[in-house]
Amino acid sequence: MADSSIGLTPFHEIPRSRWSALASSLGSPLSESEIERIRGLGDSLDIDEVDSIYIPLTNLLSRYARAARQTHTDTAEFLGITQPHTPFIIGVAGSVAVGKSTVSRLLRELLSRDPETPNIALITTDGFLYPNAELERRGIPHRKGFPESYDRRALLRFVTDIKSGAEKVFAPVYSHLSYDIVPGEMIEVSRPDILIVEGLNVLQPPTANQSIAVSDLFDFSIYVDARPHDIESWFVNRFLALQTGAFADERSYFHKFASLSRDEAVAEATHIWKTINEMNLVENIAPTRPRAKLVLKKDRDHSVTTVLLRKI
């Protein structure tokens, strides 16, 4: 007798052509200039990608958010209490250079245009990295971006406060120029309709000494996926672009790379990828992919070819 479980998966696997057919016929609400502002360095986001992939995704997320608010209303009615609903929280995970920041900014822009959810906050977990001095003290400056380089208790406390309905919650600020936490500077988050939390390791399960992880507080989670060799190519190309851009600023932590020849820059970027980012991807980030509710699978040109949506 054949095993009926063979080929079963917890995800709906939806090819681009079928997913794009779910888009609104009204077309993109974003202009070319707005997409240019949102697009990350090295990404190839365009109106077709917005229409085909992110309009249907935004519509789906809006449905989930409405359902969560209705569940809150029903629960409050059952308990006989009156209490405002708490923010709907979306986690966005994926490798360095895979485009998760672009996805997060785009979703913030699109979701804010829904009259039911005008107040969208976006926080990156970079702000919860330990300061460089603390990483040095712990002997792990080379592990920056790995799970142990984050103040996970502070991040969990921040998201818990948001999910508990706190009026104001504050997050640290990270500077990509100085490659460090900005002392004394904070971002205020005040009861958003939706909070997007973007970071490499936001889908990590609880550690041995934790009873709960940040991902346990998410209402929806997205993993941005691509083949490792494609991500490596994007990382190297981004490094080369930054070499003549941000790295040229004398205040930049990476200014030392600005004078490298192209061949030297490619070699340096490849070394960083192989010894840090690829290792983090393989050991920590990619294993969290099955924990996501939705996976965006990208091709070499950054276009999404397949959407995996967890079955309910």
Is the model's pLDDT at 180 over the cut of 60?
Answer: yes
The enclosing domain of 86 has a CATH number of 3.40.50.300
pLDDT tens sequence across 112-133: 999 999 999 999 999 999 999 9
Name the pTM for this structure.
0.94
pLDDT given at position 83: 86
Query: Is 4 contained in some domain?
Result: no
Q: Can you tell me whether residue 118 is helix, strand or coil? A: coil
When pLDDT is cut at 50, 70 and 90, the band that residue 62 belongs to is: very high
What value does the mean pLDDT of the chain take?
Answer: 93
Is the model's pLDDT at 262 over the cut of 90?
Answer: yes
Query: Is 107 contained in some domain?
Result: yes
Query: Is 3 contained in some domain?
Result: no
The average pLDDT across 28-55 equals 86
Specify which of 43-52, 191-200, 209-218 reaches the highest per-range mean pLDDT: 191-200
Look at strands 294-298 and 304-310 and give their pairing: antiparallel
Query: Is 257 contained in some domain?
Result: yes
Q: Read out DSSP for 224-279?
A: EE--HHHHHHHHHHHHHHHHTTGGGSTTSTTGGGTT--HHHHHHHHHHHIIIIIHH
Alpha helices in the chain (DSSP H): 16-20, 32-38, 47-49, 55-79, 100-111, 132-138, 152-163, 228-243, 262-272, 278-280
Out of 4-8, 74-78, 107-111, 218-222, pick the least confident.
4-8
- Among 150, 219, 157, 226, residue whose Cα is nearest residue 189: 157
Query: Is 258 contained in some domain?
Result: yes
The answer for residues whose C-beta is within 8 angstroms of residue 36's C-beta and 6 or more apart is none
Is the model's pLDDT at 259 over the cut of 60?
Answer: yes
Query: Is 5 contained in some domain?
Result: no
- Among 91, 110, 92, residue whose Cα is nearest residue 101: 92
pLDDT given at position 41: 72
Is the model's pLDDT at 28 over the cut of 80?
Answer: no
Query: Is 142 contained in some domain?
Result: yes
From CA 253, how far away is CA 235, in angstroms rounded? Answer: 18
From CA 217, how far away is CA 203, in angstroms rounded? Answer: 10
Angle at 34 (CA atoms; ends 32, 35), nearest 5 degrees: 65
Residue 178 domain boundaries? 11-310
Is the model's pLDDT at 29 over the cut of 90?
Answer: no
Query: Is 6 contained in some domain?
Result: no
When pLDDT is cut at 50, 70 and 90, the band that residue 32 belongs to is: confident
- Buried residues in 114-128 as b, exposed as e (16+ CB within 10 A): beebeebbbbbbbbb
Is the model's pLDDT at 27 over the cut of 70?
Answer: no
pLDDT tens sequence across 71-114: 999 999 999 998 888 999 999 999 999 999 999 999 999 999 99
From CA 312, how far away is CA 96, in angstroms rounded? Answer: 30
Q: How many domains does the chain have?
A: 1
